[in-house]
Amino acid sequence: MAKYGSSMCIREPFVGKSCDTWIVFLSIFMLLFMALYAITNLFSGYNYWRSKPQTINWVAASLNLISIPIGTILGVFSIVVLTSYLKNLQDKNSD
């Protein structure tokens, strides 16, 4: 029986340090993605609270569509609210 050491990967073709490196890179990528996701939603919520939606709200609504089922509902609702806000803004500017 072969000894693999302290690696998290013990099956072929990912054995040893190369697998551990990929796990670290994937973990960092997921951490950055989740932090970006959280920051966009926080800024979006702040802009909704101020009643001044901006581009970040569209980005957050689009990102929320990925999260099934709650995020999808939140994303669709956000898009509906943003669309009605834009229609009201256009009506005010046309008057």
Does some domain include residue 5? Answer: no
pTM for this one? 0.64
Say how many domains are in the chain: 1
| Residues 55-87: tens digit of each pLDDT | 888 888 888 888 888 889 988 998 998 898 888
Does some domain include residue 3? Answer: no
Does some domain include residue 1? Answer: no
29: left (phi over 0), alpha (psi -120 to 50) or beta: alpha
| Cis, peptide link before residue 53, omega less than 30° from 0 | no
Does some domain include residue 86? Answer: yes
Does some domain include residue 64? Answer: yes
Does some domain include residue 42? Answer: yes
Does some domain include residue 61? Answer: yes
Instruction: For residue 29, name the pLDDT band (cuts at 50, 70, 90).
Output: very high
Domain extent, residue 56, equals 10-94
Alpha helices in 50-69 (DSSP H): 55-64
31 in Cβ contact with 23 (< 8 Å): no
pLDDT surpassing 90 at residue 24: no
